[in-house]
Amino acid sequence: MPTTSPTAGPEQRRLRGWQTAVFGAQHVLVMYTGCVAVPLVFGAAMDLDKRTIGLLVNADLLIAGIVTIIQAAGVGKVLGAKLPVVAGASFTAVTPMIMIGQEYGINAVYGSMIGAGVFGLLVAVPFSKLLKYFPPAVRGAAVTMIGLSLIGKAVSMTFDDQPASGSHLALALGIILVAVALMRYARGILRQAAVLIALVLGTAVAALMSLTDFSGVGDAAWFGIPQPFLFGAPTFPVAGIISMSIVMLVIFIESTAYMMAIGETTGTDVTPKRIARGLAADGASAVLAGLWTSFPDTIFAQNVSLVRITQVAARSVVVVAGGLLIVLALIPKLGETIASLPGVVIGSVSLLMFATVAGTGISTLAQVDYRDNDNLLIVSLALGAGMIPIVSSDIYSQFPSEVQIIFGNAISSAVITALVLNLFFHHLPRRRRRPEKQSPTTTTTPDKEVTV
């Protein structure tokens, strides 16, 4: 058992070396599937070959490991929240990245990401002081729309944009049922690794159904460093940078909520300065991701939940987790193996993860006070605006490409709508009505008339 003083909080508990390693590995197991799902979804949408997707997976793990260590250990008083949080590729960025890539080319994706990362570094401190403009109504609408907008991507991966066959549907349902059963009945590491176990079992069944192809794994190297500028020099379209900057604000909203949650768990005072350092690390992740052909990182909710469940919040554990991610990033064979997993398996697991993201947003919306205010209207219109490009993907097709990228993205549409409406209803001054002049009225009493 971890050794601790009677008054020590979770963050101050001292662990033995082997305990630190085991708990660090557990963090990696919990977040691994969600982290690598992002390059798999993006790579499939951009029609990249397996070898290239494998390189994206390795780069993704490298940046996640670096940013996790920064968030836990900190870089002076500049970067890192110095909290036991794990960073990983954000689902929020997937849809905008795909749209930018389809419109301007894949080089523009990473140029836009670098621009958004610089924007994030610049606004981290001001943003940390503007939390009142991001109440649960805004945060909940944003996170809910992230999950809803990605569910379609998971379905496309599962069935390869074809009508569902009986065998594929049965396999997909089986994978989800295994994960759900483990979450319901298993305990400890089996419960925390439920999604990963379902993925492994699903891959085994898919192999028996001749749905797997790992022929490229043998040619991949055992050791390699992810290559910067994999697709060449980045380009910087204005619309792409604006869209990814909006994504950065959404990532900031997510990370702020999770930093506050981990602060409550560990008894740590999460001050605006600490939040600013944590958000600056998110901005730095986007710059690094743009250079190394990866993805912007955010704090992972599942790891925040793991700290809450285990009450093991030593930052050394998270530093070990970051180190393990970097080690995994240096093994190209692993990236090639992950990239070769059948779409029905990855799609099923992604569906579960994306639905959970939407559920997290709904739980935030449940905290909103809807009595005698305009919050219901704000949430309703934000979700409605976000659903427009989902139900009608070509509705903005006649508009300039800049408009299509910003408003054709469900997440951007929902966040912009929620922010603007929240400012309009709750922060702009209202015109006061002038009191109406009352004309004198005459009342009659039994004795005399009285003018009022």
The pLDDT-based confidence of 8 (bands split at 50, 70, 90) is very low
Cα 325 versus chain centre, distance: 18
- Tell me, what's the pLDDT at 317? 86
**How far is 373 from 449, CA to CA, in rounded Å?**
45
- Tell me, what's the pLDDT at 379? 93
The answer on pLDDT for 5 being more than 50 is no
**How far is 397 from 43, CA to CA, in rounded Å?**
24
The answer on pLDDT for 138 being more than 50 is yes
What mean pLDDT, rounded, does the chain reach? 80
Q: Give helix 375-391 / helix 410-426 axis angle, nearest 10°.
A: 160
- Tell me, what's the pLDDT at 436? 55
Q: By CB neighbour count within 10 A (0-12 exposed, 13-18 middle, 19+ buried), where does 430 fall?
A: exposed
Instruction: Provide mean pLDDT across the span 45-68.
Output: 87
Which amino acid belongs to residue 62? L
**How far is 6 from 9, CA to CA, in rounded Å?**
9
- Tell me, what's the pLDDT at 41? 81
* Most confident stretch, 9-23, 68-82, 422-436: 68-82
pLDDT tens track for 350-359 = 787 778 778 8
pLDDT tens track for 386-409 = 899 888 878 887 887 667 767 877
- Tell me, what's the pLDDT at 236? 92
Strands 442-444 and 297-299: what pairing? unpaired
Instruction: Provide mean pLDDT across the span 113-122.
Output: 95
- Which residues are CB-neighbours of 40 under 8 A, at least 6 positions away? 53, 57, 157, 338, 339, 341, 346, 350
The answer on pLDDT for 447 being more than 90 is no
- Rounding to the nearest 10 degrees, give the CA dihedral for residues 179, 185, 186, 191: 50
pTM: predicted TM-score of the whole model, two decimal places: 0.71
**How far is 211 from 182, CA to CA, in rounded Å?**
25
Note whether 303 and 71 are within 8 A (CB): no
The residue written with tokens 């619309």 in the block is 239
Count other C-beta atoms under 10 Å from residue 88's C-beta.
31
Closest of 81, 148, 134, 141 to residue 299, by C-alpha: 81
- Tell me, what's the pLDDT at 19? 72
**How far is 108 from 436, CA to CA, in rounded Å?**
59
The pLDDT-based confidence of 3 (bands split at 50, 70, 90) is very low
* pLDDT > 70 in the chain, percent: 83
Encoded tokens for 223? 């050791």
The answer on pLDDT for 242 being more than 80 is yes
Count other C-beta atoms under 10 Å from residue 125's C-beta.
15
pLDDT tens track for 284-341 = 999 999 999 899 998 887 677 667 766 677 788 889 989 988 988 887 777 667 666 7
Instruction: Provide mean pLDDT across the span 108-129.
Output: 93
Question: DSSP state, 231?
Answer: T
Alpha-helical regions (H) of 46-165: 50-73, 94-104, 106-128, 136-159
- Tell me, what's the pLDDT at 220? 63
Question: DSSP state, 354?
Answer: H
pLDDT tens track for 422-437 = 999 988 876 655 555 5
At 444, give phi and psi (nearest 5°).
Answer: -115, 130
